[in-house]
């Protein structure tokens, strides 16, 4: 289905929630090191509940290793200064939904990586900086899944 890519996530609870999101939606979760926690972290385990064994989670040593493994055709880089609204994308299975670190988002270099198809934004009030990483990923994954008829889901 869809592939979620977190670049050097820092907060274990966000990644735990993303593990749960991946299990529930059939998405894959890809994490690029360095991680700001280890997989024995209690907050990660608590946020993911008992979904860890039901999710496809892959950890990559670098963004280059992630690109090599994913071989993506389309990558959507979610960033507060994206030029395209997340609802204006026609998502296809296999698309990569890429998100940056909680503290700083995506670097300018990654926003312009040749793998990136489009920089995408979620709407927010103008006075606020960003949305929580796990929440942003959930919004994006559910929109992509909705567009594809919630394939595999019990409706």
Tens digit of each residue's pLDDT (9 = 90 or more) over 99-108? 999 999 999 9
Q: What CA–CA distance (Å, rounded) separates 128 from 57?
A: 31
Rg (CA), the chain: 14
Is residue 153 domain-resident? no
- Render pLDDT for 51-95 as a digit per residue (tens, 0 to 9): 777 899 999 999 999 999 999 999 999 999 999 999 999 999 999
- Render pLDDT for 31-45 as a digit per residue (tens, 0 to 9): 999 998 887 766 666
Is residue 155 domain-resident? no
pTM passes above 0.75: yes
Residues 129-145, mean pLDDT to the nearest whole number: 95
- Render pLDDT for 10-23 as a digit per residue (tens, 0 to 9): 998 899 899 999 99
Distance of CA 24 to the CA centre of its chain: 14
Is residue 104 domain-resident? yes
Domain that holds residue 18: 3-147
Question: What is each CA distance from 42 to 11, 23, 32, 47, 100, in whole angstroms?
Answer: 12, 19, 20, 9, 23
Residue 53 sits in a domain whose CATH number is 3.40.1280.10
Q: What CA–CA distance (Å, rounded) separates 29 from 38?
A: 16
Q: How many CB atoms lie within 10 A of CB 133?
A: 24
Give me the number of domains the chain comprises: 1
């Amino acid at each position: 289905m869809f592939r979620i890519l977190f670049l050097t996530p820092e907060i274990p609870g966000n990644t735990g929630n993303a593990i749960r999101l991946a299990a529930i939606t059939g998405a894959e979760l890809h994490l690029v090191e360095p991680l700001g926690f280890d997989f024995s972290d209690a907050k990660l385990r608590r946020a993911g509940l008992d979904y860890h064994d039901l999710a496809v989670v892959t950890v990559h040593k670098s963004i280059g290793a992630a690109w090599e493994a994913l071989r993506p055709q389309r990558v959507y880089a979610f960033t507060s200064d994206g030029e395209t609204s997340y609802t204006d994308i026609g998502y296809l299975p296999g698309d990569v939904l890429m998100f940056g670190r909680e503290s700083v988002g995506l670097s300018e270099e990654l926003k312009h990586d040749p793998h990136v198809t489009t920089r995408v934004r979620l709407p927010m009030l103008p006075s606020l900086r960003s949305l929580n990483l796990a929440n942003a990923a959930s919004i994006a994954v559910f929109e992509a899944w909705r567009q594809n008829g919630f394939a595999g889901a019990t409706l």
